[in-house]
Structure 1
């Protein structure tokens, strides 16, 4: 796979870490010529046995893949190295961690079965447990977990797996007792409430389950799958009014999250009697999902990913799990892993619109036109779905189809006003319409919309950035613009786009040296944005660094600018910037020109 010689950086990265995997006695013990032996001649090649050479190559591949941020390739390479030498516990640990990162739980299980139980990592033990539970081998669940030590959060996860296994054996009281055990850590014990409620419902103790769901709601736990099950439980015991009261505020707002509850509310209003008779696999997946979602705010994102991957291994076709895992991975930059999970969510799932929205933005990064087509198709199939229509408006705006976007936002705003939505709920629509109107040259209307958005969301960095930049670019209210952009930088200190806006506002304020420093930082954080290079070139020109200015303008041209930007850049490369009458030296030049 690696036929081409890696560059010097990659080579250094690979070889610098080799001692962590191989010592001379281990890697070369069976070689015909041993390192440091009297038989070795100066300059003689060191010969590797085939097995050692294979491990060496696989380890290099694993380190290289990690160095170039290719987690899938790293997982394959480390697993290959481990299978060449399954007695090497360091290779086992690396291979397990790499395969957990990409959710390859089948490989984690295969490797775990080749090492002694005491050597298995905690999450590998959980993977074996999940495999047994998913296959209905309930007694093996207890055997696998017996004697294992976990962190408090993993202990909670493991106890609930064991409780669901007891349910599968018809031992409801024991399952309830086990799930009721506390860790002594309030956020973990609170997180278990919905899962405990699901266990009580499965054990046919609905009123106790309802009480726990109510307690979880009081703690603002909002697992979509758990809340939908709760609404069905209420309907199943004849509490229709309570079910509607639960669902109405969740469904009757236009956000993407709200779309997950619209179907459930419609069924409740149509007289649905509720269905809690899920098959065992669905019930376990949803119950465990409520636990993971409730724990996620107090746990590192990587642990949430690992636990969600375990649930996907337990029930690969669960729409609820695939939606939750896909959205979690997408929100943390694992786009390649997220995409197939989001695509797997069924058109019949309540989470379908939310996952298609997330998927559209992933596709947009590589193919804006295809993302727009997908948004149009989603609206065509869901013509009254507010979240789908919002996605289309946002996608039109992102593709700079501003007239169509402005009309779409306007229609959505009218719907929100008719429903008496608050500014806190509608500010994204005003922000979107304001941006479209600004680009259409309708600045007074745009400014009104953008100020409405800012008033409703005063610490939203995108709003602060857009409004601050728009004011600065026009030379209006520069002090206010600088203050907004400083706040945006505080909220997102590593955003190259926001630093560019602040640098441009400094430039417009005549603070050229400060602007140059800020725009250089922006260029280091966002090296592929044509606008940043364009702005930096302008600042260099005004500070007497004409050659550097032309270098930046040429770089901006290479970064796929818009047609309008391209034309402006070509003029600047030919003629430079026109004199600035606000600067004394430039004013003198202009005066001399007029006198001639």
Structure 2
């Protein structure tokens, strides 16, 4: 199953309630990150746990809360926090053991606790107990989607054949509709009711906006039924719309060779897939703690579920828990089709944690292991770009772009265009950026980057102004794009409008040296020299690079009358 999820920046969701603590083992803190708290007291342990949980260090948080629950005489809120931290760190069994369920427990935590207990019972082969608990404690918002989707799989585990094939539904809930129907198709297949299963699969692959999610599921069903030609036809139709889809390509090759079909998912695997789908929804809504909790539950049922490990790594990276993310990406084996993706994410994790040599080493090894792997090439090129090794980045991309000359990808052309521009090879960069824009003429990043490049060079200013205005219209909250627009007006001599736009940009990007420098220049040209000097001094306080620092110091000394309009470096502005 393929999930194409764009994860937005995470925001930690507080799960507040009171609970009782049961069977919490005494475990000491595992680091000194929170030594400012008095760890000899229950309250100090609790505060340290809160800080760790807020920072995304769930394993450390569980340790602190565990000690606090033993030292303290008020286990309620500590027990709730311990449950949350254990669940988020992946210790589902321990979380289920202390899952809060008392009358004084807040509903949000009580519902998640009930879901956790159901999953743990299902994971340990206690299907009848799981069904009894699910029926006895109906799980409402925000976990009713998961409860509804788990219902048929829990019924199947309990031996309830009738309950297993009832499609769950919630009013106006497409997630439950689509994945409930997928579950019904698979459970019909398990019951050898193949015609009914195929009816469901066909319906899913006919959905106007979600059909692509279920092509591989239907194809695998056809392969299991030895209908290889039908499977190939299905894959061919899907590849017409997305010819670069590696999953579809592998499936087609397998079906064409009549190789062993993917096995039918087990009950636990089917239930886990539903939890991953719910997690992806929470992640898209920026409910990161719920998303992570669901992924941990899914992995309790299916520890080898690769898309779950990839999403766990992404969420932990967003919380700056790079150590946890490295562990998550490490679960993807070298034999997996997802290995190149995992290695790319692993390399970027090391990059974000400050270990740039290790990041590049992993990316290079990944590309050497699979020289023709497109994703591995792009990952290495992008890391080289991030490390300002522009010419090396270009060399990695050259053969890839040549190989895809008949079906160019604007994103790869854009990536090479950035590297060429930064390497000082503007003519070549302009060619790539223009080619990319022809393929995708409405892409704000492309419009802004090429437009700003022309503006910064005092070239094609009317056309560049139109391009960055179009980018701003598409992304009005982008301070960098507003800066490009203001800089265009500056270059055209419209200093009043330049000041207006650049002031807006500075409000959105107060820590950007270029934006503040541009605003200072516009103030100077508008006759507001004192404000201009303030902005240039501000540039010096914002950790400017050597060129930005030298320009600001020169302006503070002589003003723009001596040095002329600033010519700031072109950067990726999006």
Common fold by TM > 0.5: yes
**Equivalent runs, 1:314-463 vs 2, <5 Å:** 314-327=301-314, 338-365=325-352, 366-418=354-406, 421=407, 426-463=409-446
Post-superposition shift, 1:393? 2.8
How far, CA to CA, are the matches of 1:334 and 1:199 in structure 2? 38
Query: 1:146 is matched with which residue: 135, 141, 164?
Result: 135
- Is contact 2:367-2:380 (8 Å) kept? yes
Query: 1:167 is matched with which residue: 141, 156, 160?
Result: 156
Q: What's the secondary structure of 1:204's corresponding residue? A: coil
How far, CA to CA, are the matches of 1:283 and 1:193 in structure 2? 12
Change (3 A) 1:109 1:73: same
Q: Which residue of 2 aligns with 1:471?
A: 454
- RMSD over aligned CA atoms reads 4.2
Q: Which residue of 2 aligns with 1:309?
A: 296
How far, CA to CA, are the matches of 1:104 and 1:390 in structure 2? 35
Change (3 A) 1:320 1:210: farther
- Is contact 1:251-1:259 (8 Å) kept? no
Q: What's the secondary structure of 1:376's corresponding residue? A: helix
How far, CA to CA, are the matches of 1:156 and 1:64 in structure 2? 31
Post-superposition shift, 1:466? 0.8
Higher Cα Rg: structure 1 or 2?
A: 1
How far, CA to CA, are the matches of 1:444 and 1:555 in structure 2? 34
Structure 2 unaligned regions, length at least 5: 1-16, 19-38, 567-574
How far, CA to CA, are the matches of 1:443 and 1:461 in structure 2? 20
Change (3 A) 1:128 1:508: same
- Is contact 2:393-2:416 (8 Å) kept? yes
Between the two structures, name the one with larger relative contact order (CA 8 Å, sep ≥ 6). 2
- Is contact 1:326-1:341 (8 Å) kept? yes
Return the structure number with greater helix share. 1
Q: Does 1:544 align with 2:532?
A: no
Post-superposition shift, 1:582? 8.9
Deviation string 1:471-504 (CA, Å, 9 cap, x unpaired) is 2112233344334334434444444433433343
- Is contact 2:186-2:197 (8 Å) kept? yes
Post-superposition shift, 1:294? 7.6
How far, CA to CA, are the matches of 1:495 and 1:507 in structure 2? 18
Paired residue total:
523
- Is contact 1:199-1:287 (8 Å) kept? no
TM-score (normalised: structure 1): 0.73
How far, CA to CA, are the matches of 2:202 and 2:172 in structure 1? 20
Post-superposition shift, 1:519? 4.4
Q: Does 1:509 align with 2:492?
A: yes
Post-superposition shift, 1:335? 6.0
Change (3 A) 1:339 1:496: farther
Query: 2:481 is matched with which residue: 472, 475, 498?
Result: 498
Query: 1:209 is matched with which residue: 197, 201, 219?
Result: 197
Deviation string 1:102-121 (CA, Å, 9 cap, x unpaired) is 65544532331674698761
How far, CA to CA, are the matches of 1:215 and 1:153 in structure 2? 28
Structure 1 unaligned regions, length at least 5: 1-19, 22-51, 584-596
Query: 2:186 is matched with which residue: 189, 195, 198?
Result: 198
Q: What's the secondary structure of 1:317's corresponding residue? A: coil
